[in-house]
Structure 1
Amino acid sequence: MTDNTLKPYVVPQFTAQDYSSFFLAAIDVVKTRIQIDPAYKKFNLLSGARHVIANEGSAGLLTGFGPTAVGYLVQGGAKFAGYEFWKKQFTQIAGDQESAVKYRTAIYLGASSVAEFFADILLTPLEATRIRLVSERNYASGLVTGFTRLAREEGMRGLYSGFLPILCKQIPYAIGQFTVNEFCHELAFRSMSEEKRANLSPSAQFSISLGSGVIAGFAAAILSQPADTLLSQINKGHGPTGSMPHRLKVLAQEAGFKGLFAGLGPRMIMTAGLVSGQFLMYGWIKTALGAPPGLEIHKEAK
């Protein structure tokens, strides 16, 4: 006889130290992102470097490095820790294990979106500072002076003028990154017994994490590519004047479907390496910090 009683979902009670471990792990993970600036690729790597050095000296190559590094480190840490937090909250709202598993896609989508939203609140002012340092020579000497000047002269409007484009890019990216990674792990583990999973070799664990991360990276690149293209155009000053939604709409119409996905292939390769590296490092550093495993709500095999 089948017991149809709904069982409450046993949710781990993460402490503040656990969330700080998630945050610190993610900070180490996302340091690779400071090397990637897709918005200012007027030249290829070598010709661009030669152009900067010729005009500004070798120090010009580090223009905007401070806000880019700090911005993406803080944003990445907040995103990974935030995803763990909001996944737990939405799981508890579901109320029981059966409901949590049934609505796990919505939980993944909601947790990744909300986590990214709050993380981008931290990122946007620093990204605005970076853009000014790169686009206006002699604007300021670095992160602190640039941020202070922008806040003083333009206030919140100046600091958050790029918030909507960043959300349009980063939320689809986070959805692909986390949701697809969750389902890839679920598929890998579904056919395994608890005993087999508990005794997986390090190489098997690495293979599952790497493969899941690569596929999640492909998904993140595809979902965020249109907004990434538009954000690059906005940052270069292209498009009409007016409200940000209007500018994005006009640029999208001008680019067309093909234009919005131009350069997708190389970006998929880059993002696959980036995302898989993030998840691998995130797992290793969590282990080193003694953080507990993240909450799983995967569907079990029947």
Structure 2
Amino acid sequence: MSKPGNIELYTSKFYATCTLGGIVACGPTHSSVTPLDLVKCRLQVNPDLYTSNLQGWKQIIKTEGGVSKIFTGVGATFIGYSLQGAGKYGGYEFFKHYYSHTGLFSQETVNKHKTLVYLAASATAEFIADIFLCPFEAIKVRQQTTLPPAYKNVFEGLSKVYANEGLTGFYKGITPLWCRQIPYTMCKFTSFEKIVEGIYHRLPVKKSEMNALQQISVSFAGGYLAGILCAIVSHPADVMVSKVNVDRKPNESMGAATSRIYKQIGFNGLWNGLPLRIVMIGTLTSFQWLIYDSFKAYVGLPTSG
């Protein structure tokens, strides 16, 4: 095993470091775009509510009690996406190595079809990560799409949902969340790997000859392009997550709820708020890769890609 810095690759310390890097990359970045997310979620539920981001923020500040209200849901966002980032990035590093070296895929398949490994590893990691994210996503969406917000903070939300609905209340949206997040993450990691691979292939110097800042710049560019693709692929499910968490009736099956909501909003309704989400997700994804790879370089690990 090679040993960049003091951390041996593919050991428990390596995976723990990558997991911490995922927390650092995802929790703060998702929290920072809460104002964008707030307007986006409300427009998904009611497309006539605001005419623009700026108009939405002005109305929220004026009618709901000040600037702090544009950060409605930030607590649930920070906790939920920190947990998700841990599972997503740490899990991806683990499963990418696991699927490449345990005989699940032949070495010939791994060498010829790396994309299959990227897809399988990212899908597995996200499936697990969403189990941790889902309760906090449910609280966030309810806070953001109800007027006035259903809960004052994440802890009140957790308490009330559990008291009124039990554990089921936290996982009402798990299926659409998987439908949103798993394709999103498969696209995010696989397209990032392929885009970065393409960038390095076209550069006049090898990656090993580039300094950390140059490598991180490549990660940033690859992350933004990957983020645009992610936003488009996962947007219909993102709309459905918002609608289901707010509008699913007691004892209504997921299939029935999804069918009823789709009849209400139609195909075009699945794309409400897409331009805003492209900006939000492109920015998020690029900064997540920037932070994640900066963290890896800081602790002595090689950058991604």
- Normalized against structure 1, the TM-score is what? 0.80
Residue 76 of structure 1 pairs with residue 78 of structure 2:
no
Q: After superposition, where does 1:78-157 map in structure 2 within 5 Å?
A: 78-94=87-103, 97-134=107-144, 135=146, 137=148, 139-157=150-168
Percent of paired sites with the same residue: 33
Larger Rg: 1
Q: Deviations over 1:142-201 (max 9, x none)?
A: 2223212211221111111111111111111101100001111222334679x8331125
- Per the alignment, in what secondary structure is the counterpart of residue 84 of structure 2? helix
Amino acid at match of 1:40: R
- After superposition, the Cα gap between the structure-2 partners of 1:210 and 1:222, relative to the gap in structure 1 and judged at 3 Å, is same
Q: Distance in 2 between matches of 1:219 and 1:183?
A: 13
Counterpart for residue 199 of structure 1 = 209
Q: Distance in 1 between matches of 2:151 and 2:241?
A: 23
Q: 1:219 aligns with which of 229, 245, 253?
A: 229
- After superposition, the Cα gap between the structure-2 partners of 1:151 and 1:143, relative to the gap in structure 1 and judged at 3 Å, is same
Counterpart for residue 15 of structure 1 = 11
Counterpart for residue 20 of structure 2 = 24
Deviation for aligned residue 1:99: 2.6
- After superposition, the Cα gap between the structure-2 partners of 1:277 and 1:156, relative to the gap in structure 1 and judged at 3 Å, is same
Counterpart for residue 293 of structure 2 = 283
Deviation for aligned residue 1:214: 2.2
| Segment drifting more, 102-111 vs 171-180 | 102-111
Deviation for aligned residue 1:256: 4.7
Q: Distance in 2 between matches of 1:185 and 1:203?
A: 15
Counterpart for residue 3 of structure 2 = none
Q: Deviations over 1:116-161 (max 9, x none)?
A: 1111111111122223444274755422232122112211111111
Q: 1:49 aligns with which of 54, 57, 77?
A: 57
| Segment drifting more, 184-193 vs 74-83 | 184-193
Q: Distance in 1 between matches of 2:93 and 2:186?
A: 14
Q: After superposition, where does 1:187-266 map in structure 2 within 5 Å?
A: 187-190=198-201, 196-201=206-211, 204-237=214-247, 242-252=252-262, 255-266=265-276
- Is the Cα–Cα contact under 8 Å of residues 22 and 291 in structure 1 kept in the other structure? no
- Per the alignment, in what secondary structure is the counterpart of residue 14 of structure 1? coil
- After superposition, the Cα gap between the structure-2 partners of 1:191 and 1:131, relative to the gap in structure 1 and judged at 3 Å, is closer
Q: Which runs of 5+ in 2 are unaligned?
A: 1-7, 44-48
Q: Distance in 2 between matches of 1:60 and 1:161?
A: 26
Deviation for aligned residue 1:219: 1.5
- Is the Cα–Cα contact under 8 Å of residues 113 and 175 in structure 1 kept in the other structure? yes
Counterpart for residue 41 of structure 2 = 39
Q: Which runs of 5+ in 1 are unaligned?
A: 1-11, 297-302
- Per the alignment, in what secondary structure is the counterpart of residue 42 of structure 2? coil
- Per the alignment, in what secondary structure is the counterpart of residue 102 of structure 2? helix
Counterpart for residue 188 of structure 2 = 177
- Is the Cα–Cα contact under 8 Å of residues 229 and 260 in structure 1 kept in the other structure? yes
Amino acid at match of 1:29: A
- Is the Cα–Cα contact under 8 Å of residues 87 and 111 in structure 1 kept in the other structure? yes
- Per the alignment, in what secondary structure is the counterpart of residue 39 of structure 1? helix
Deviation for aligned residue 1:211: 2.8
- Is the Cα–Cα contact under 8 Å of residues 22 and 90 in structure 2 kept in the other structure? yes
Deviation for aligned residue 1:235: 4.1
- CA RMSD of the aligned region, Å? 3.0
| Segment drifting more, 129-138 vs 102-111 | 129-138
Amino acid at match of 1:20: A
Deviation for aligned residue 1:57: 1.9
Amino acid at match of 2:25: V
Q: Distance in 1 between matches of 2:116 and 2:238?
A: 24
Q: Distance in 2 between matches of 1:22 and 1:114?
A: 16
